[in-house]
Amino acid sequence: MNLSPWILAARPKTLPAAVVPVWVGAMPMLMDGNLFTGSWFLFWCTLLSCLCIQIATNLFNDAIDHAKGADTKKRLGPRRVTASGMLRPGTVLIGALGFCLAAALIAIPLIVTRGWPIVAIGAVSLFFSYGYTGGPCPLAYRGMGELFVILFFGLVAVSGSYFAQTGEWGGGEILRLGLQCGLYSSVLIAVNNLRDVEEDRGSGKRTLATRFGETFARVEILLFCLIPVLLWNLPVPRSYEGLFVGLLPAPIGAVIVFCVFRFRPGPVYNRILAFGALQLLLFAVAATLRELVP
């Protein structure tokens, strides 16, 4: 079997959106210097399960966007395996279901350890892996993609990962990390939607960019890059080192904002998406280093 179409369909560049919130949520317990707190085994179960859900979401998206005519020959982003004929729609859907099953099986140790909350989080996440683009009210086609990402790739993923480690939901610090993570992850979808604004208008995909225009989309990206930086200073950093660490993703955010205001939607936005993934990874580094800064 040729794995290349499946790797393309999994969209490796989007996977940091699944990795970073799990790491950020687990990191306070794994990096606290106490060998008796935190569990690397539960961390890997959480991470692999979330990766499977992310890949399932991408596969559902690939097949369903093709069925709805959202992926056309005018597409500016990477090729989609269903629209290009590399894989059959049914095959892609079966693959998505397979990753959903894998996510559920990998999560069994989490369920045994933490109980029904993991079942609830997993069930809702699996449902929306399809409901993001499929079902009677697909979120991506109703302008709710950014909200979905903030909730599930931010607040839910970070809080859920912390709960997997501790059995508790954490306080304001975990919620703030979740909101920051969700906003940085939303940069990816907002840039993607701005890049595809003309194609989405033609196919009837009602993203925020198509509803409110390109200027709105650019300001949205600006806020998604700026607000997490401001949140680093709530409360006031304990030291200048803490302030510096919190600003680590800011230069990349500045490049992203400059580029989306400087360039019209086009293939160059694929490079901006790479900067968005880098910004998200730097946020994970900053969150980790901040735990180590006195």
pLDDT tens over the chain, length 294 residues: 455 889 989 988 889 999 999 999 999 888 876 767 789 999 999 999 999 999 999 999 999 988 887 666 666 677 788 988 888 999 999 999 999 999 999 999 999 999 999 999 999 999 999 999 888 888 888 889 999 999 999 999 999 999 999 999 888 889 999 999 999 999 999 999 999 998 888 878 889 999 999 999 999 999 999 999 988 866 655 555 666 777 889 999 999 999 999 999 988 999 999 999 999 999 999 988 876 665
In terms of residue numbers, what domain contains 156?
Answer: 4-292
> Residues 150, 152, 153, 154: what is their CA dihedral angle, to the nearest 10 degrees?
60
Cα dihedral 96/124/285/26 (nearest 10): -120
Among candidate residues 133, 179, 188, 168, the one with its CA nearest the CA of residue 16: 188
Q: Cα 31 to chain center, whole Å?
A: 23
Buried b (16+ CB within 10 A) or exposed e, 217-255: bbebbbebbeebbeebeeeebeeeebeebbebbbebbeb
Q: What is the sign, positive or negative, of the torsion defined by CA atoms of 198, 199, 200, 203?
A: positive
Query: Are 235 and 247 spatial neighbours (Cβ–Cβ below 8 Å)?
Result: no
- Cβ–Cβ under 8 Å, residues 55 and 119: no
Rounded CA-CA distance 177/184 in Å is 11
Residue 117, preceding peptide bond in cis (omega within 30° of 0): no
Rounding to the nearest 10 degrees, give the CA dihedral for residues 223, 256, 237, 33.
120
Determine the Cα–Cα distance for residues 267 and 269; give it in Å rounded to an integer.
5
Q: Which DSSP helix (H) or strand (E) runs through 29? A: helix 16-30
Which amino acid is it at 253? Answer: G
Distance of alpha carbon 28 from alpha carbon 289, whole angstroms: 11
The CB-side HSE value for 166 (13 A sphere, CA atoms) comes to 18
Q: How far apart are CA 215 and CA 277, in angstroms?
A: 22
Find how far residue 106's CA is from the centre of its chain. 20
32 contacts 38 by C-beta, under 8 angstroms: yes
Give the total number of structural domains in the chain.
Answer: 1
